[in-house]
Amino acid sequence: GENVEQHPSTLSVQEGDSAVIKCTYSDSASNYFPWYKQELGKRPQLIIDIRSNVGEKKDQRIAVTLNKTAKHFSLHITETQPEDSAVYFCAASLPNFGNEKLTFGTGTRLTIIP
């Protein structure tokens, strides 16, 4: 099965600086890579996703990059704000004819320092 590793487990960033979270996956056939943000006690919320036919995707201050050769993908948050403080999870999905399931990383706790 798929295995996803996520680093770092904790990250503290000064407000206004950029934050980068990296994930690696084991199965080169994986083709869908979402990122979720989870605030304390709340549900994970999808913030951005990328498919294997795309190398980069941006949505305002958030971007995701994918390197299929190296089997890793990264979340980039620019101009960080206090409300960006949360736990972020990456995930990967293998194509399986409508029977797809996500494998999650272990999460990164991001703290924005005012």
Partner 1 sequence: DGGITQSPKYLFRKEGQNVTLSCEQNLNHDAMYWYRQDPGQGLRLIYYSQIVNDFQKGDIAEGYSVSREKKESFPLTVTSAQKNPTAFYLCASSIAETQYFGPGTRLLVL
Binding region for partner 1 (CB under 8 A) = 6, 32, 34, 36, 42-46, 49, 89, 93, 98-102, 104-107
The distance of Cα 51 from the centroid of its chain, to the nearest Å, equals 13
Residue 71, strand partner residues: none
Angstrom distance (rounded) from CA 99 to CA 9: 30
Both tokens of 85, joined, read 């403080």
Judged by beta carbon, residue 78 or residue 104, the one nearer partner 1 is 104
Residues paired with 45 in a beta bridge: 37
| Amino acid in position 43 | R
Name the residue nearer to partner 1 (CB basis): 46 or 113: 46
Question: Least distance to partner 1 from the beta carbon of 16, Å?
Answer: 27
Pairing of strands 86-93, 62-67: unpaired
Indicate the residue among 78 and 103 with the shorter CB distance to partner 1: 103
User: Residue 109 Cβ, how far from partner 1 at the closest point, in Å?
Assistant: 8
> Minimum CB separation from partner 1 for residue 67, in Å?
20
